[in-house]
Amino acid sequence: MHALLIAAALVCSQQRTFFTLPASNGWGAIVADTKEAKLVHFREHLPATEEPELDLAGNPAKDGEVPRVVKTRNLLFDAYFGLRVNGTQRWLQGVPVTESGYEHGIVYWKQSLSGVTLTTYAFAPRGLPHAGFVMLLHIEGAATAFSLHNFHLGYGRPTPGVNGETVVVAGNRDLLERAFAGVTVTRPLGPVTHALAWNPGSAANGYTVVQSTTNDFPDSVGDLGVADDWASGFQFAAGEWVGLAVVHHGDPFAGATAQGWLDAYVGGKSPQQLLTDERAAWAAFQQRVTLPPGLTADEEKVARQSAVMLAMAQVNESQVYLREFLTRDGEARRSAFSMTLPGQVTHRGAGQVLAALPPAEWTYAWVRDGAYALAAMAQVGLVDEAKRGVQFVADASQTPSLTRYTGFGTPEQDWNDFGPNVEYDGWGLTLWAMRKAGVTEGHAALADALSQLIDPTTGLMKKDSSIWETHTRGRERTWTYTNLTAVRGLCDAAAMSVDPIKAAAWRDAALALRKNIALKLTDANGALASNREELQSGSAYADAAVLDAFALGLFKADGRIGKATVALLDSKLKTPHGWSRNDDRTNSNGLSPWGSEYDSAEWVFTDLRGGKRGWTTANAAANAGVIPETYDEVSGAWKFNAPMVGFGAGAYLLSLLPPEAPACGVYFEDEAQPVTDAGHPGVDAGMKPDDPKPKGCGCGSTGKGLLAALAFAWVSPRRRRKPRAEAMPLP
């Protein structure tokens, strides 16, 4: 099998718990349920949304205060293969899967039925510049295969209904299905003997034919008319390789165009040749990925799959066909990208990198998450992808979005009852990523805008929603995380500048801001607090997000602030393998904006930024290379969303690299006059020297070990200590 195959075998005593694996080519995306042996999702675009809804006047449409957005549709209910062997036949969904995982961006799963070994492959082809997918079946034994595909193309978003669908069986056995949501073309790959389509009123039901009889499919021919809830399938001639290729077009009557796309992609290639080509494309991609020496086998596997995840999360689409209707006939659609619909429109979404891949909830391009993804891309050899991502942010608006972007590249802020999120941290991180990618265009305007956000009355950044997205209306805070990202960004802007006057101004602003972080955002022990407001309350201000102060090179990890910060986190947030994200779930100062399981969960991102990689390596190696958003803070089990991109794959790759050079070329501790008493006057809210130290679980790095590792790595970046993979199994 292939060297980079990430399979389901148990690795380092970890359990396989994640089985819904996505694949994307940047135009669309699919999701495979590898436990049930079928595809369950085919998205017409990669991001979760297209653009804001507009009212008659061309202004953003709202529900109360909340802007409405056009949601991307999932066009597929399910698709899977069936088999006739030894005189019996059945569908393969539900047949036990013995192995599943990734070959780069190709999802696969293995099954066995009546002595026949079966391997299914599913991927969104890198060589197909449209929303589409290929699904192949490799049959090792004498058998006949069937396929079933159930598209939903009716009214509604993001989950269309099944109303008003029409199926046409073309002369070459292409199956064209059209309705409100456009047209899909499904082309058989390999010799096909029968093509069948059916609906609830049909005399022959393809599912029943295979599952409950030993009959062949009857044939459907030509235009089968309009009905609700069509499904379709192929019966293939006996052979070792069979499959199907699918594309989608947003115009219901563009079937011929979609067939032309398949002509160009498939040509006369066999199913096996299409798989060979896809493997070759991913092999060429991996040739460009450069990783540091000395990684363990599991670290390299997870790192290379992380690079794949970054690539699959980047949008390639820049043009799309839009209908004149939004969710149903007669409901007018308006677009900021075209005055007249229907028609082909050009949008600004290409280049953006999503925070997560489906089935995760966060399939949006957050500025912050994207910056970590782009910085990682730039440093592992994917420089062209990083440049495209940075250029997307520069082109989308004069300054980065205050939260995220729609799929078509429009800046967007997410809302709740406490108003929108306002996140200034993305601005500093964008400048950091720009320098990594070698893109300087636009840095001056952004650095000027960022420096103007420093409040002259405090010397700190203006209050915002920051990394944990607390929204506004009394929930904004003077977040340490936002301040430290601004320092890093202004330092990198100064380094990029060819204007010595501006460079000096940005550098001075960054150093002054860092000094104020040390003066006003640390407790009496020197520990960095979550935010100024909680620090001033005297309690409940522990937050793992501040670990980026050391990961981004503002302070020495083994300096007074570094040691005190890790001691505080170990005292208040320690989990068996890392830290909870903060103490807001249980604090009593009345300043917590959330107080939920999200607060107490152990975040993979902060673990990785704090140098704790072993648990994530072992878990990802056991779960097809996928990295989740969070772990349960007690058991270590996966929690909430996966696969994560910037906060997952990107942060993982960054954790493997030598640490950042000091911000502005010098650590705070090495400046001429370091601060000696950074505590808030009269307040000692941190862990006092006589506080009991937390008991270790014997399976994670200690704070002291973390500081030593980071310090050593900076002094001697070529000799990197590899942390061991913790062996505690999931429950």
Confidence of residue 253 (pLDDT cuts 50, 70, 90): very high
User: Which is more confidently placed, 10 or 19?
Assistant: 19
Does 7 score more than 80 pLDDT? no
Percent of the chain whose pLDDT exceeds 90: 87
pLDDT of residue 14: 78
Lowest-confidence region among 157-161, 169-173, 247-251, 682-686: 682-686
Residues 594 and 584: beta-carbon distance below 8 Å: yes
Helix/strand/coil percent split, the chain, to 5: 30, 25, 45
Distance CA 711, CA 720 (A): 11
Does 713 score more than 50 pLDDT? no
- Tell me: the pLDDT tens digits for 359-396? 999 999 999 999 999 999 999 999 999 999 999 999 98
Q: What is the rounded average pLDDT of the residues 259-288?
A: 98
Question: What would the DSSP string read from start to end of 31-53?
Answer: EEETTTTEEEEEESSSSSEEEE-
Q: What is the rounded average pLDDT of the residues 567-575?
A: 97
pLDDT of residue 5: 55
- Tell me: the pLDDT tens digits for 436-448? 999 999 999 999 9
Distance CA 429, CA 366 (A): 11
pLDDT of residue 570: 98
Percent of the chain whose pLDDT exceeds 70: 90
Does 684 score more than 60 pLDDT? no
pLDDT of residue 592: 74
pLDDT of residue 329: 98
User: Which is more confidently placed, 696 or 139?
Assistant: 139
Structure tokens at 374: 């782009």
Does 176 score more than 50 pLDDT? yes
pLDDT of residue 398: 85
Lowest-confidence region among 4-8, 125-129, 179-183, 243-247: 4-8
User: Which is more confidently placed, 691 or 257?
Assistant: 257
Residues 252 and 182: beta-carbon distance below 8 Å: yes
Residues 521 and 691: beta-carbon distance below 8 Å: no
Residues 645 and 532: beta-carbon distance below 8 Å: no
Output phi, psi for 428, to 5 deg: -65, -40
Q: Which of 39, 16, 30, 176 is nearest to 101 (CA)?
A: 16
Q: What is the rounded average pLDDT of the residues 88-106?
A: 97
Q: In a 10 Å sphere around its CB, with 0-12 CB exposed, 13-18 middle and 19+ buried, how is residue 341 labelled?
A: middle
Does 707 score more than 70 pLDDT? no
Confidence of residue 703 (pLDDT cuts 50, 70, 90): very low
Does 727 score more than 50 pLDDT? no
pLDDT of residue 397: 85
Confidence of residue 13 (pLDDT cuts 50, 70, 90): low
pTM across the whole model: 0.91
The CA-CA-CA angle for residues 237, 38, 626, to 5°, reads 130
What value does the mean pLDDT of the chain take? 91
Residues 377 and 385: beta-carbon distance below 8 Å: yes
CA-based torsion, 516, 521, 527, 528: positive or negative: negative
Structure tokens at 69: 């957005």
pLDDT of residue 15: 85
Q: What is the rounded average pLDDT of the residues 68-94?
A: 97
Residues 242 and 190: beta-carbon distance below 8 Å: yes
Q: What is the rounded average pLDDT of the residues 98-125?
A: 98
Does 161 score more than 50 pLDDT? yes
Confidence of residue 294 (pLDDT cuts 50, 70, 90): very high
Confidence of residue 499 (pLDDT cuts 50, 70, 90): very high
Does 238 score more than 70 pLDDT? yes
User: Which is more confidently placed, 723 or 26?
Assistant: 26
Distance CA 648, CA 356 (A): 8
